[in-house]
Structure 1
Amino acid sequence: MEIRHFLLGLCAFCLFHRRASAESTCNLKAKFNLSGYKDVEKKKVVIGGMFPIHKRIASNDGNTLRLPVSSDCEGFNFRTFRWTQAMLFAINEINKREDLLPNTDLGYVIYDSCFTISKAVEGTLTYLTGQDEAVPNYRCGDGPPLAALVGAGGSDLSIATARILGLYHFPQVSYSSTCSALESKFQFPTFLRTIPNDKHQSTAIAKMVLHFGWTWVGTIAADDDYGKYGIKDFKEQVEEAGVCISFSETLPKVSSPEDIQRIVQTVVEATAKIIVVFSSDVDLSPLITELLRQNVTNRTWIATEAWVTSALMISLLGGTLGFAVKRASIPGFQRYLLDMDPYTDPLTEEFWETLFNCTLDYGRALRTSKQKARDVNGTLSGEVRGLPDGLCTGCESVAKLNNTYFDVSQLRITYSVYKAVYAVAHALHNLEHCKEGQGPFNGKDCADITDFEPWQLMYYLKNVRFKVPHTDEEIYFDKGDVEGFYEIINWQFSSNGEISYVIVGHYNGSAAPEDRMNILNDSIVWNSEVLEPPRSVCSENCQPGTRKGIRQGEPVCCFDCIPCADGEISNTSNARECILCGVDDWSNDAHDACVPKIIEFLAFGEPLGITLIVISAFGALVTISVVFIMNVGTPLVKANDALLSFSLLFSLVVTFLCSIFFLGQPQNWSCMTSQVALALGFAFCLSSIMSGYTLLPHCVESLTPLWAFYKDIFSFLYTQGIACGVWLIMLPPHSIKNTSAKNIKIILECDEGSVVFICCIFSYDILLALLAFIFAFIARKLEDNFSEGKCITFGMLVFFIVWISFVPAYLSTRGKFMVAVQIFAILASSFGLLTCIFLPKCYILLVKPECNTEEMMRPHAKTRDGTATGTSASLATAATEVNATISSMAIDD
């Protein structure tokens, strides 16, 4: 280990010794080829600068047969050349001030980075070492101390230079490097910038996309750190909010026609109408040129600060929206640009020759031959008028040219350069005017302005706070960054066809989240000069009443709108799920709101209810009229016992009227009353038929006491009453809301309370009906047919047919029609019994009163011709005539 340290020290000594010798063997093998500006003579402090004055480096032939030479630059950029002049202007302005660095003249060393990382590294090493043949980690040049580097242009250039400068804790103040990766103080400890961090811009673009409801956007990024980090931050934010990326393309750093054609094809085929571009104007220009050639104009572009005020794409991108850093006007700067002398250095000569598309050979020859002293308005003017094409003198008028170099209406990056120079100047001023004993360094020491270390100036730069001249904007660095403030720019064509940058809003990253973005929608002119924002969605919004159905294998923004099922709703657009309505509600036809279900019951006032009431009342009135028709004193009534007839008629009145209790909105009392009245009414009716009309003739013949049969009737009725009482006490019928029978309706109905009880109750009635039918069927064969067995048998058959038909009809209906079927069964069975039992009697009483005599009512009476007399014969005759009448009516019909 000691030997190793010794060898390293020996190498360092040798390197230093040989650097001091005339012929050095430790220099780099390739000499840097850098262009720029330099003024360090008699200056106390030097500020470095780096600007991408050219767009690219010239390609070399890759020849390895000769000494490698650093590549030249090509593609002069007037916009970035103006940035360079802004630094020179600011330094000249500071050197003239009495309140800022009054005892210190600032010098400068400015290099052209050619928008290329390799050139930026060359410039950085040359700036640090002080000579073109740079030896890393050595400064071999003499002269004033180096203060800071202003630059180096794009984010990828600044990242490369910041890694080198950070090794020496050398301050760097950037004017256009916005990449969010540069905020890492671990990687870039000495990097500061006067332009906002791209995290603010990515958030602002994301908010804009969400503001206009765009959910389907394309992205294009430069193949550098600026593009990659900017698009990455943007994607993370919009995708979290539900926005989908239609396509994502990367612009090549080296011109590639194949890649450009592929990207153009992607843009043409994509359905996204909004395209977000994180790129510089230099990288984007080839794509825009090809899009213009193919006339692809139906897209809306979202621009970043790197190209939002660039003049390279205005012919195509009318309606573009973008974010621009703060703008300011710099008094005297335009005059400074117009007063440029093209012969000061080779870079300015190239600018002039590119501007006027000429060569300055003739003008340079004039200066060399001392003819410049002649009258410019005389001989030289005449010579200018007669100059051959392609030659210029350097006296051409630049004021009339429409060039981005002279456009000072949108001084944004230029203003950022201006602020960066002033930040370094104010830090130097604070360093120079440090009071001994109150300094920030060891033992409260101060640094010497003529011999300070970079890390000492870095302290003052991090803590600098000043107001920019002419604008009063206060500048300070928060962990190396400034506040994220942007103006929202809309590209609009003026009446003369020129593009104007109209401010349509602001974004302030330091404000409250709800107040950060302010957009004047009515001021925006969109692509094709429409006033409405363009639509850019993969699928149109799902309206209320539908839900989003994701398409398999496609982004979540591509979906189908599926109608909500019955009973479900969605009351918002783009609902992911439908909401199930409550038990008492149902979805409306549009499925966008839950509405109360229709309450259904068989009401008194509706036509069906009125019809049933009329029929019930008619049946009861007919039954009551039979009571009055049946004169108690007549032989016919006496023959069948008037009390039993009246009890049967009374029970039929009860069954007719109990059907009315089934109508109306079910209540607990009506449910109990209707069921119990029906059960008791039929029990009374059937027990009367069974006890009186089937067993009474046998009772008369056998002289069985009549009261015994009345006792049987009341026994049957009493048994049914006890059962009904137990039912009502334990599990009585009650009203319920039936929500399951019909989706859109709530059926108000009566619940039996207990299936066992209701089956027992009505099984008892069925038992009575079966016994009555059996007894009537047997009684039909009694001697001389004295009884009414045949009529009762037919009546009971009607009763059974009605109730057997009732069961399937009842089970196949729902709601109020179930109640209607039940009432029809009650009325039909009641009318059947009334008609079959009492119609023949009424016929005799009303139509054949001559048959209502004692002789006719005798059980064994016969006429002289031997025909039967008595009740049986009379009823048989009456039945025969009734049947004949009914038959004739049918024939007449």
Structure 2
Amino acid sequence: MDKGKDWRSIATVSSRLPPTSDLEGRRQPGDIMIGVLLPINSDKIYQKLTFNVRPLKTTCRLFSLEFYHRFQAFLFTVEEINKDPKILPNMTIGFQMYDTCNIPHYELQGALQFLTDSDRIITDNQCCSRPLFSAVIGSTFSANSIILAHVLGAFRYPQISSFSGLSLLSNKRMFPSFFRTVPSDKFQSKGLAELILSFGWTWIGLVTVDTNYGLQGIQPIREEIVKAGACVAFMEYIYLGQPDRNAPYIVKTIKESTATVVVVFASEVEFVLILNEMVKQNVTGKIFIGNVGWARAIILSMSTYSSILSGSLNLAFSDYVVPGLSQFLAKIDPSTSVTSKWTRMYWESVFNCKFLPENQTISLENPVNICTGSEHLDGIKNNSNYVSSLQSTHAMFSAVQVISKALDDLKSCKIGEGPFFNGTCANIWNFKPWQLTYYIRRVQLNINVENGKYFDENGDPPAIFPIVNWQLKADGTLTQVKIGSYNSNVPFPWTLTLDTSLIVWKMGRKQVPSSYCSDRCIMGFRKAALQGKPTCCYVCVPCLQREISNQTAPIRGLKEE
């Protein structure tokens, strides 16, 4: 046997990963490829592990309309770029996309597939060549983005998230090639604190998830609240390591607290467990202030939670709907789509119907609305949940635009005027990951920012958040109405703009609800501290002669730094 030939065979095999049998996805060939990791299903059923047999495949569940729309926004944007002769002429963008179900090892497995491109046939002289993939769009959630950023960043491989907001990811020393098209939670936390204090509330409860995302998000809010003279009534954690997520204890605390206002910094998947427990314990009368993680969650808009969430306020991601996306979605046909499984799930979610398996008849005991496949999407364009999920697609649209613009800038480089050694340019057919990262860091899009660059020095985009109010509809469900915005790009105190006339609190009331530990002292009385209690908790005692106050001291509010 030829030892040299045998060595080459081993090298060829070792340069590839095992087939991605556990991952479901879609592939479209192109001259330059983009890897996409999305949780089309946002939850999973874990199988019991014995380690004496091969672990069973994790079962994905809970189809996500929002993330399916994000995937469709990706398809639409790629199609538009490939049709545009001004962007990457004579080249096409392709992709490999996987449904990760928000499972960390699926995220990592998908990323490694992108790096090795194991779906290609690798010859002996290609074993160490650059993969076809240019960049990765993902992960969705911050904890998984950190895992990917450590792996991809080791090779300076560009990664763009359209959802991860954890402020830690702005650290370029730790994550040199990580970017995102959503603002950092650092700005979100400041916006939430400013929103809370603008209503004069002084007694606030805090709930967050026990992850870096939750802890780093809630701490700045707490600091700003205390600095302004308000007080924290309680601070509870959603423990992901507990089967019940600590929900019974959290809800008991919320129920027994005199604080009307509760800040929840978590994702919809975590918050829905708290809401289910609130329904069980019949807790009402609280006003929730939330981060973008659950701002436009369709599952939370159901009538089940309307008595709990009506009147709530959230910072949200951009409400910009990608032009032409609605028309693109109207072309979806569940009978002909190449991703028929996901499309059928989408169809069932949108039209509230079910596709029956072949040869199955309708049960009279359990009647269901049967999907025909001929329903028209035009009839649901005014559905608030449908529109809300479309408003979450802009970040994905921006991610594809950033990559394509960076690739076009790389391709347009003139020899002798390039940014690399001795004015050299990168080869569009054989560039290195770090070379594309260079162009992504400096990409300019048609967006109103001061210096024209899309990303700042930390890889973060401009921080502009719409503010939405959860309002009850006639059918008992909830809709989110925009009532203002938070813009970190303008100086304080103009960062926050609110139209309070649009806000509807619980029971349709227009008056701002109160949230105080103690009632404000009337004229002629003063505050007397209660031993062992926060400064916001006091009793009112008569003023001494010649020490009578004729006004109520307001909360100090945020100050300009």
**TM-score surpassing 0.5?**
yes
1:67 aligns with 2:67: no
Deviation at 1:32, TM superposition (A): 5.8
Q: Which amino acid in the other structure matches residue 88 of structure 2?
A: L
Task: Judging by fraction of residues, say which structure has more helix.
Answer: 1
Q: Which amino acid in the other structure matches residue 351 of structure 1?
A: M
Measured at CA, do residues 105 and 143 of structure 1 come closer, stay the same or move farther in structure 2, by a change above 3 Å?
farther
Deviation at 1:141, TM superposition (A): 9.4
Q: Which amino acid in the other structure matches residue 373 of structure 2?
A: C
| Partner residue of 1:537 out of 503, 507, 516 | 516
After superposition, the C-alpha distances for 1:793-836 in whole angstroms (9 at most, x for unaligned) are: xxxxxxxxxxxxxxxxxxxxxxxxxxxxxxxxxxxxxxxxxxxx
**Corresponding residue for 1:157?**
144
**Corresponding residue for 1:337?**
329
Deviation at 1:188, TM superposition (A): 1.1
| Partner residue of 1:236 out of 220, 223, 229 | 223
After superposition, the C-alpha distances for 1:234-265 in whole angstroms (9 at most, x for unaligned) are: 11211121222212222243673372222221
Q: Which amino acid in the other structure matches residue 456 of structure 2?
A: D
Q: Which amino acid in the other structure matches residue 27 of structure 2?
A: K
Mapped to 1, the partners of 2:229 and 2:45 lie a distance apart of 45
Sequence identity of aligned pairs in percent?
32
Deviation at 1:335, TM superposition (A): 2.6
| Partner residue of 2:454 out of 466, 476, 493 | 476
Measured at CA, do residues 465 and 402 of structure 1 come closer, stay the same or move farther in structure 2, by a change above 3 Å?
closer
DSSP-derived class of the 2:148 partner = helix
Mapped to 1, the partners of 2:284 and 2:369 lie a distance apart of 39
**Corresponding residue for 1:627?**
none
| Partner residue of 2:10 out of 10, 18, 32 | 18
Mapped to 2, the partners of 1:276 and 1:450 lie a distance apart of 50
**Corresponding residue for 1:614?**
none
Q: Which amino acid in the other structure matches residue 270 of structure 1?
A: S
Contact (CA 8 Å) 2:239, 2:245: kept in 1 or not?
no
Contact (CA 8 Å) 1:37, 1:111: kept in 2 or not?
yes
Q: Which amino acid in the other structure matches residue 301 of structure 1?
A: F
After superposition, the C-alpha distances for 1:718-771 in whole angstroms (9 at most, x for unaligned) are: xxxxxxxxxxxxxxxxxxxxxxxxxxxxxxxxxxxxxxxxxxxxxxxxxxxxxx
Measured at CA, do residues 32 and 181 of structure 1 come closer, stay the same or move farther in structure 2, by a change above 3 Å?
farther
**Corresponding residue for 2:173?**
186
After superposition, the C-alpha distances for 1:46-90 in whole angstroms (9 at most, x for unaligned) are: 111111211223211212221234423222212211111111111
Deviation at 1:493, TM superposition (A): 2.6
After superposition, the C-alpha distances for 1:17-48 in whole angstroms (9 at most, x for unaligned) are: 52425xx6x987996611122112xx111111
DSSP-derived class of the 2:294 partner = coil
Q: Which amino acid in the other structure matches residue 324 of structure 2?
A: G
Mapped to 1, the partners of 2:100 and 2:204 lie a distance apart of 34
Deviation at 1:144, TM superposition (A): 6.1
**Corresponding residue for 1:871?**
none
**Corresponding residue for 1:515?**
494
After superposition, the C-alpha distances for 1:394-431 in whole angstroms (9 at most, x for unaligned) are: 73425256898982356332111101110111001100
Mapped to 2, the partners of 1:93 and 1:541 lie a distance apart of 59
**Corresponding residue for 1:53?**
40
DSSP-derived class of the 1:407 partner = helix
Contact (CA 8 Å) 1:78, 1:404: kept in 2 or not?
no
Where do 1:348-427 residues align within 5 Å?
348=342, 351-352=345-346, 355=349, 358=354, 362=358, 395-399=373-377, 400=379, 407-408=386-387, 411-427=390-406
**Corresponding residue for 1:196?**
183
Deviation at 1:296, TM superposition (A): 2.1
**Corresponding residue for 2:559?**
none
Mapped to 1, the partners of 2:260 and 2:191 lie a distance apart of 19
Contact (CA 8 Å) 1:334, 1:406: kept in 2 or not?
no
Deviation at 1:275, TM superposition (A): 1.1
Measured at CA, do residues 205 and 390 of structure 1 come closer, stay the same or move farther in structure 2, by a change above 3 Å?
closer
Contact (CA 8 Å) 2:12, 2:127: kept in 1 or not?
no
Where do 1:294-333 residues align within 5 Å?
294-314=281-301, 315=303, 316=306, 317-333=309-325
DSSP-derived class of the 1:123 partner = helix
1:435 aligns with 2:448: no
Where do 1:388-787 residues align within 5 Å?
395-399=373-377, 400=379, 407-408=386-387, 411-467=390-446, 476-479=454-457, 480-495=459-474, 497-543=476-522, 545-570=524-549, 573-574=552-553
DSSP-derived class of the 2:34 partner = strand
After superposition, the C-alpha distances for 1:495-518 in whole angstroms (9 at most, x for unaligned) are: 555533222112111111111111
After superposition, the C-alpha distances for 1:343-381 in whole angstroms (9 at most, x for unaligned) are: 413642562575466457549x9xxxxxxxxxxxxxxxx
Mapped to 2, the partners of 1:251 and 1:258 lie a distance apart of 5
Deviation at 1:190, TM superposition (A): 1.0
**Corresponding residue for 1:213?**
200
Q: Which runs of 5+ in 2 are unaligned?
A: 121-125, 556-561
Mapped to 1, the partners of 2:324 and 2:37 lie a distance apart of 23
Contact (CA 8 Å) 2:47, 2:56: kept in 1 or not?
no
After superposition, the C-alpha distances for 1:428-471 in whole angstroms (9 at most, x for unaligned) are: 110011111111011111111111111101111111111279xx
Contact (CA 8 Å) 2:355, 2:370: kept in 1 or not?
yes
Mapped to 1, the partners of 2:546 and 2:8 lie a distance apart of 90
Mapped to 1, the partners of 2:390 and 2:369 lie a distance apart of 32
Contact (CA 8 Å) 1:341, 1:394: kept in 2 or not?
no
DSSP-derived class of the 2:300 partner = coil
Mapped to 2, the partners of 1:14 and 1:540 lie a distance apart of 83
Q: Which amino acid in the other structure matches residue 483 of structure 1?
A: P
Mapped to 2, the partners of 1:497 and 1:187 lie a distance apart of 47
Segment drifting more, 403-412 vs 175-184: 403-412
Measured at CA, do residues 203 and 544 of structure 1 come closer, stay the same or move farther in structure 2, by a change above 3 Å?
farther
Mapped to 2, the partners of 1:32 and 1:556 lie a distance apart of 59
Measured at CA, do residues 27 and 502 of structure 1 come closer, stay the same or move farther in structure 2, by a change above 3 Å?
closer
- TM-score, normalising length from structure 1? 0.55
Q: Which amino acid in the other structure matches residue 257 of structure 1?
A: D
Mapped to 1, the partners of 2:148 and 2:298 lie a distance apart of 28
Mapped to 2, the partners of 1:203 and 1:394 lie a distance apart of 48
Q: Which amino acid in the other structure matches residue 320 of structure 1?
A: S
DSSP-derived class of the 1:514 partner = coil
Where do 1:2-41 residues align within 5 Å?
18-20=10-12, 33-40=22-29
DSSP-derived class of the 1:131 partner = coil
Measured at CA, do residues 394 and 150 of structure 1 come closer, stay the same or move farther in structure 2, by a change above 3 Å?
farther
Deviation at 1:536, TM superposition (A): 0.5
Where do 1:32-181 residues align within 5 Å?
33-40=22-29, 43-131=30-118, 145-181=132-168
After superposition, the C-alpha distances for 1:111-164 in whole angstroms (9 at most, x for unaligned) are: 12212323222222222222389xxxxx96989621111121111121221111
DSSP-derived class of the 2:58 partner = coil
Measured at CA, do residues 255 and 339 of structure 1 come closer, stay the same or move farther in structure 2, by a change above 3 Å?
farther
Q: Which amino acid in the other structure matches residue 521 of structure 2?
A: C
Mapped to 2, the partners of 1:171 and 1:121 lie a distance apart of 15
Measured at CA, do residues 552 and 445 of structure 1 come closer, stay the same or move farther in structure 2, by a change above 3 Å?
same
Measured at CA, do residues 413 and 162 of structure 1 come closer, stay the same or move farther in structure 2, by a change above 3 Å?
farther
Measured at CA, do residues 258 and 415 of structure 1 come closer, stay the same or move farther in structure 2, by a change above 3 Å?
closer
**Corresponding residue for 1:769?**
none
What is the aligned-residue RMSD (CA, Å)?
Answer: 3.4
Measured at CA, do residues 235 and 241 of structure 1 come closer, stay the same or move farther in structure 2, by a change above 3 Å?
same
Deviation at 1:564, TM superposition (A): 3.5
Contact (CA 8 Å) 1:544, 1:575: kept in 2 or not?
no
Computing the radius of gyration from Cα coordinates, the structure with the larger value is 1
Q: Which runs of 5+ in 1 are unaligned?
A: 1-12, 134-138, 366-382, 577-893
